[in-house]
Structure 1
Amino acid sequence: MPSSFLLPVLGIGIPALVILWAIFAYNRLVKYRQQVSEGWSGIDVQLKKRSNLIPNLVKVVKGYAAHEKTTLTDVTELRAQCVSSSGSGVDKRGEVEGGLASALTRLLLVAENYPDLKADNSFLDLQSTLTEVENDIEMARRYYNGAVRLMNVSVESFPSNLIAKQFRFTRAEYFQLENSDDRQAPGVQL
């Protein structure tokens, strides 16, 4: 008698557990996808802040170092590329933003040759703000890449990959800068 009772319980219990697990796995994947979106939004906001600082920085530097035209032109053109690439994929955005970070570093290094520029309050304020924004970009990038890691592990690992494949959850792309030198926030030794 006990074995005849156990079969129906197992027949109902095991499918119920599988369904509960599938719901849990699906909801976890949704959560991770939302964290990836939130992380990318944070990066995007910080990159826009940086782009908004650049025209003022270029204007201040131009007043002191007008013959540094190549550097100023590079920064301006790369900023325009960054603004126009705001809707593009993570890889493309990382490539363009990496180029801008290099150009900003070169621009800030120009200040080393101009003591009056280094002492200008507007320049110092912009440099300080830019450093803060670069730190915020780094924190946003870490959050985003952590969310991407969680998502990718869930999408690729068994058995959650079964749910991911069924509901078309895909791997997310890490946000990386192309040049390892570009991974450092621009800075100037004063």
Structure 2
Amino acid sequence: MSFYLILLGIFLLLALFGVSVFNKFIKNKNQVKDAWSNIDVALKRRYDLIPNLVETVKGYASHEKDTLERVIQARNAAMSVPSDDINAQIKAENQLQQTLRSIFALGEAYPDLKANLNFIDLQKKLSEIEEALERSRRFYNSTVRENNTYGESFPGVIFAGMMPYKSFNYFEVDAAERENVKVDFS
């Protein structure tokens, strides 16, 4: 009789441990999704601001059509990525960020544009959005770190294949974004 109670106790402990591990996987995944939703809100604000920025720049730098088209294409590409594909969204956002840098390089090259109040206001709003994105990215990356560490360390690594574990990519700056923007007017 006591043997069966011991077996039952061991079984119950293992079941509770399994439920605990399962819940941790779910909690981590939901935290990553929540953190990404904060980024998603800021990205939506950025997407809404970009057409106004491009239109303002068009008036001063109409012969920079290629640069402006690349920005719009990058914006449209980023907006078209499925919202549940976080890793693809990160890649698209890095490309958009790179093209946005080229618009501000144009601002430096055209003093009249740089002095335009609308351009200054849009630049300020975009800067505020970028600051919010930076905070959201840090929070997102910390939740990704927690999720990935749990799934890749003991005991999570043992159960990761059997449970709803998903590894997420960090939202990192790509190599192209670390370089200075090259503006050539020749």
TM range (shorter): 0.7 to 0.9
Match of 1:106 among 68, 93, 102: 102
Higher mean displacement: 80-89 or 29-38: 80-89
Q: Aligned ranges for residues 158-173 of structure 1 at < 5 Å?
A: 158-173=154-169
Would you say the 8 A contact 2:28–2:147 is kept in 1?
Answer: yes
Asked if 1 retains the 8 angstrom alpha-carbon contact of 2:148 and 2:168, the reply is yes
Paired letter, 1:79: R
**1:172 Cα shift?**
2.1
Cross-structure match for 2:21:
25
Matched, 1:120 2:116: yes
Task: Give the direction of change, closer, same or farther, for the CA distance of 1:19–1:88 in structure 2 (3 Å limit).
Answer: closer
1:157 maps onto 2:158 in alignment: no
> What's the offset of the Cα at 1:62?
1.0
The Cα of 1:182 is off from its aligned counterpart by: 5.3
Q: 2:142 aligns with which of 139, 142, 146?
A: 146
Pairwise CA RMSD: 2.5
CA–CA separation in structure 1 for the residues paired with 2:30 and 2:111: 48
TM, length-normalised to structure 2: 0.84
2:37 partner amino acid: S
Name the % identity. 37
In the TM superposition, residue 95 of structure 1 has moved relative to its aligned partner by 2.4
Shift of 1:87: 3.4
AA aligned to 1:108 is: F
Contact 2:150 2:156 in 1 (8 A): yes
Q: Distance in 2 between matches of 1:43 and 1:73?
A: 25
Partner in structure 2 of residue 45 of structure 1: 41
Structure 2 residue runs without a partner (length 5+): 182-186
Aligned partner of 1:89 in structure 2 is 85
Whole-Å Cα distance in 1 between the matches of residues 113 and 80 of structure 2? 30
Task: Return the TM-score normalized by structure 1.
Answer: 0.82
Q: How many residues align?
A: 181
Q: 1:75 aligns with which of 71, 75, 80?
A: 71
Look at both structures and tell me which one has the larger radius of gyration over its CA atoms: 1
